[in-house]
Amino acid sequence: MSKISEPDLNILRNLCMASGVSGYEGEAREIMNINLRKICDDVEIDNFGNVIGKIKKERKNNEDVKKNNIKKIMIVAHVDEIGLMVKYITKEGFINFTKIGGIDDRILPGQRVVIKAKKGDVFGIIGTKPPHLQKEEEKKNVIKYEEMFIDIGCNSREEAEQKIEIGDVIIFEPNFGNLNNDLYYGKAVDNRVGCYALIKIMQEIKNLDINAEIYAVASAQEEVGLKGARTAAFKINPDYAIVIDTTIAGGTPQIKETESNLKVGNGVAITFIEASGRGVIVNEKLKEIFINTCKEKNIKYQYDVLEGGMTDGAAVYINKEGVPTGVLSIPTRYIHSPTSVFSLNDVDACIKLVVETIKKL
């Protein structure tokens, strides 16, 4: 069973509890900024909102890089989360909203949310027409988010406008805790658990004598088009890239093994292909290194062949003339929902595999 120190647990908890909807990653981004500054030689927040930390290899100039074969390795974990945004306020004081990122309408009714308003957090509940009042035909259909509303306890538009305004972002109510043994749950596990792993990886690498420049990227706006990783890859132009994310775990009722045979607690997931090839097709050399390293170092691992969904790897590996890119994921239950479940053992396996891989690269 994995053990986690109280300071590390606090970092993980703070990341999951923080607000960071795509394009509005400020709170979560600042946690990454603070923690990477304790480790890296240089840290910047770029024009797009990515946090980029760098552990430098001493060099005189760019010619020195070529002469000594100093590689640039980029490790990416996206810092944004799915969420909502205030779209309209009714005359009765209820809120219509739009979605940011991929959210299944079926999970929304009754959820507690927090509107990140300029004047302070406003708590609300997502409401819809009660089933008792629905006609038989209505009961057969999934209620669309456009038919839902958020109740913040106001009686008029004027009262609501004293608290919020159109364009305010909305997060699911923050939560984090221990479910059982090494299993933890939390909001925005996708991909704050990857961000936590990124911090721990850089801590490990800092103490190693590696002939490479290592870049840690907490990327913005992954959930809405893999955007931040694309701009960061263009800026860094790495020789290799490793992307850390979450992936869909099976092992629960109604998920067939043919749909996902990944299980929480069975190790880090090594991705082969995403979205049937529309996403990243993982570099053969890196895939081999991942698998051989797991065998050599006794790291628990699983294979991940994705038919749907993509990671930042899909944007990074087509940068300029192409970047050999690997994707490692932490199997997670209930991703893209208000609360997800993951194993610290899988997180530790991911951290160890990335560190050992970088030694070989």
Is there a domain that residue 132 lies in?
yes
Please list, residue by residue across 168-202, b when 16 or more beta carbons sit within 10 angstroms of its beta carbon and e when fewer do: bbbbbebebeeeeebbbbbbbbbbbbbbbbbbbbb
**Of residues 151, 154, 148, 144, the one with CA closest to residue 128:** 148
Same domain, 309 and 167: no
Answer yes or no: is pLDDT of 98 > 90: yes
**Of residues 355, 342, 13, 15, the one with CA closest to residue 181:** 342
Which residue among 147, 172, 197 closes a domain? 172
Taking each helix axis as running N to C, give the angle between helix 26-37 and helix 189-206, from 0 to 180 degrees, rounded to the nearest 10: 10
Same domain, 66 and 113: no
Is there a domain that residue 76 lies in?
yes
Same domain, 123 and 249: no
Helices (H) and strands (E) in the chain, counts: 10, 17
In the block, residue with structure tokens 């603070």: 34
Per the DSSP assignment, residues forming a β-bridge with 113 are 124, 172
Same domain, 164 and 263: no
Over residues 329-343, the mean pLDDT reads 97
In the block, residue with structure tokens 């929480």: 264
Give the length of the chain.
361
- Domain containing residue 114: CATH number: 2.40.30.40
The string of pLDDT tens digits covering residues 165-181 is 999 999 999 999 999 99
pTM of the model: 0.94
Q: Is the peptide bond before 191 cis (omega within 30 degrees of 0)?
A: yes
Token pair of 100 as six digits:
């940011």
Q: Give the angle subtended at the CA of 147 by the CAs of 142 and 153, to the nearest 5°.
A: 125
Same domain, 77 and 216: yes
The string of pLDDT tens digits covering residues 269-286 is 999 999 989 999 998 999
Same domain, 332 and 250: yes
**Residue ranges with strand state E in the chain:** 42-45, 51-55, 71-78, 83-89, 95-100, 112-117, 120-127, 149-151, 169-172, 176-180, 183-186, 212-219, 240-248, 268-273, 301-305, 325-332, 340-343
Annotate 249-274 with DSSP letters as a single string: ---STT--TTT----TTS-EEEEEES
End-to-end CA distance of the chain: 29
Phi, psi dihedral angles at 253 (to 5 degrees): -55, 140
The string of pLDDT tens digits covering residues 194-250 is 999 999 999 999 989 888 999 999 999 999 999 999 999 999 999 999 999 999 998
Is there a domain that residue 182 lies in?
no
Domains held by the chain: number = 2
The per-residue pLDDT for 267 is 97
Average pLDDT, the chain: 93
Which residue among 105, 139, 172 closes a domain? 172
In the block, residue with structure tokens 């658990």: 193
Q: Tell me the HSE value of 114 on the side-chain side, using a 13 A CA sphere.
A: 17
Same domain, 31 and 157: no
Q: Is 90 helix (H, G, I), strand (E, B) or coil?
A: coil
- Domain containing residue 341: CATH number: 3.40.630.10
Is there a domain that residue 180 lies in?
no
Determine how β-strand 212-219 pairs with β-strand 71-78: parallel
Residue 335 CA to residue 80 CA, distance in Å, equals 13
- Percent of the chain topping pLDDT 90: 84
Is there a domain that residue 1 lies in?
no
| CB-CB contact of 164 with 117 (8 Å) | yes
Q: Tell me the HSE value of 37 on the side-chain side, using a 13 A CA sphere.
A: 9
Q: Is the peptide bond before 237 cis (omega within 30 degrees of 0)?
A: no
Answer yes or no: is pLDDT of 112 > 70: yes
List CB contacts of 25: < 8 A, sequence separation 6 or more: 49, 79, 80, 220, 221
Is there a domain that residue 103 lies in?
yes
Q: Give the angle subtended at the CA of 282 by the CAs of 48 and 12, to the nearest 5°.
A: 55
Is there a domain that residue 57 lies in?
yes
Q: Is 220 helix (H, G, I), strand (E, B) or coil?
A: coil
Same domain, 351 and 240: yes
Which residue among 172, 204, 229 closes a domain? 172
Q: pLDDT-based confidence at 140, cuts 50/70/90?
A: confident
Over residues 154-160, the mean pLDDT reads 97
Catalytic: 25? no
The string of pLDDT tens digits covering residues 48-93 is 999 999 998 755 455 555 556 789 999 999 999 999 999 999 999 9
The per-residue pLDDT for 133 is 67
Same domain, 262 and 275: yes
Q: 120 is in which domain, residue-wise?
A: 83-172
**Of residues 152, 167, 173, the one with CA closest to residue 85:** 167
Is there a domain that residue 177 lies in?
no
Per the DSSP assignment, residues forming a β-bridge with 273 are 281, 305
Q: Is 360 helix (H, G, I), strand (E, B) or coil?
A: helix
Alpha carbon dihedral 51, 52, 53, 57, in 10-degree steps, equals 180
Same domain, 291 and 247: yes
Active-site pick, 25, 81, 222, 356: 222
Same domain, 45 and 119: no
The string of pLDDT tens digits covering residues 209-222 is 888 999 999 999 99
| CB-CB contact of 75 with 214 (8 Å) | yes
Same domain, 282 and 356: yes
